[in-house]
Structure 1
């Protein structure tokens, strides 16, 4: 009977411990490692890997200095310090299309700060395919060290950790995420936002500080500035004539036969000239280009033709200059079936 009594007390004690622990981790101060704010924190702390995605075509890794690349199999660039990227960007920005060949062997680093030496392109492709991509957030940094409480729900205990740098913070959350772990940041903490010191006293403060960052802080690629993307697109579409090679409606039906005779010319003054040699007919319209929610939007507005009016849309640019096509998707198509492809002739 005594042993049964002790067993019941033990169960009750453990149950109370678990209840107290779950009360702790359900408070506003605790965070799930799989939650929205934890994802933002991970992006703040990860090793920067997306800024050079215009070279390695991946936000899963970054190339470590020094390395060499060749543009369009013609011009070689040696990158040994950050300032060397500027000449490369100026070269690429002047091109409507470009290909990059990376010189091997090359050292790369991953979001978790691990470094790997790759011997050839096959190894590069393999590691890009195996590593989960992650896009860092700039402009906000922690003033380390900071204190973290880690909750172990299985053993009903919590432990205090001192975090000294971004790598430790990133890998802590990554490891906790494997078991859906919980943790707590001990506030107040000090952060730097664009070099200015701020004191944060809660998770709400931290989330607000991240969400209030400038849009450019969420776009780490050195080549994804608006003027560069738009100028490259404009240079491509205004440098020749185009035909339509694919047009599928929102039901996935191919209607290319209605449009294959048309010839399109996009002028720098935002006018469109359309010729139909088979009927000696001509039409006109207007085009515009903008960036909305980080997507390139191509607006077409035709005049004088019911058939061409079907193409009057704000189109998402899914690709261009690869090498001679503009691939468009209707922004209003929930099924993503409406595809329009122009090809330069």
Structure 2
């Protein structure tokens, strides 16, 4: 009967673990010393910490790494009630919190809830006060969340139980962390216990390791401790790039031909509205090309590091708002929308792109859009010259027989169109013959973007310039407004960027404020030096003149045929192409 009673004791101590008992006829066996695990030993403590309930994944709800909330649970996040059924729900909470940057976030729990403690026992909690008290208590008891999260056991694991006579009285099959925790907690009830080696452990990087003795197990757990980010803090954003790599970022940038600025905040100023209509392209060679109407800006980008510590260095001399060493905060891909979120302290920069995951534009989408309804040229640049206005009164139609017509008040010109993707990239081939000015559109265009409302095309010349053609559903409205003069005289301006023949000279104008008056006088002053000049707007706001005489450094701006690239109440971009060496000067004025 001794054997039967011993079996019953084991069953009571181990709970749900599987037991198989030896008979009284079994011979005594000395437990192998290298496989024994003793109560309160160093290895027992390490194993207990490894398998303890990890409460950090749901810190966004309870704010405590030493306990977790049993799911499902209902919470109200910034006024939105959601039911959390699994761990994916934690990201749903974070997504709501991330919707706005300047609001006060709140997560309100609907009580009662059941809380799971470190030892896997449960407690019913009825209020925030009870939850806070429970968290404070368990943190104190466990020395501020003492669990080890960088290593896991691969189950099942078996153990043998011995009595005082060194007889094996039972074996235990352990199938989970909670069963292992109970097993370690009950060690003092047994005369001797051995682990059945070899066992397998899983490291934080996903690799496995075979362990053959208790000493080896102790060493591997100690070595693994603190080798990963256990995410025990309450910074819910800091793990968004746990698995990010520089190659993944490069792939994402390569998949999408054009990126726009979804968010740009520098020094508590929201600047994204200043960059509407700017399209960014990130090259595999570390180059950045930015196009805005007929203007092209160039720069560079570079990424280094791993995980949540990837630095992204952006340098676009003509667009200083973007220049910094940013931290890659998140890469988010959902359906066809991709976002790359960068942070620098409180500053934020987020690029977004609507593109297919494989980076390709679908031929069928192009044909369907092209052959439906009227199209108008809203942007055409050739050799860095904006010639959009030439096509302002043309209506373009494309037919399924691959003919196309361009109609204006002088009549209709017929041409042809076709698509080609033999080289892996979709092209739109246009041919309007020698009819002026439509012959300028005759080209094999690379298709950059296709929707039912817009088609963007590009063609790279041998000299590195990129011609652009954009078709939209509404006619060209003239590009620049007829209120350029009104913009200029309304407030003070500063030189946000001045690039002369690829030489960034913006720093020469730091601290200067420009004041344009209605009489055609402009004054540039930095408090110590004042330069006066004249200005005017010509040709329906498509050109601008500036003359500061010999006043340095503003004599660089003296020109009577600046082309107005874009104008708004907050930013004006003008450009001059030298007739001699073909160099390009670009001046960007920003409203103070």
TM-score (norm 1): 0.48
User: Which structure carries more relative contact order (alpha carbon 8 Å, separation 6+)?
Assistant: 1
Structure with the largest fraction of strand: 2
Higher Cα radius of gyration: 2
TM-score (norm 2): 0.30
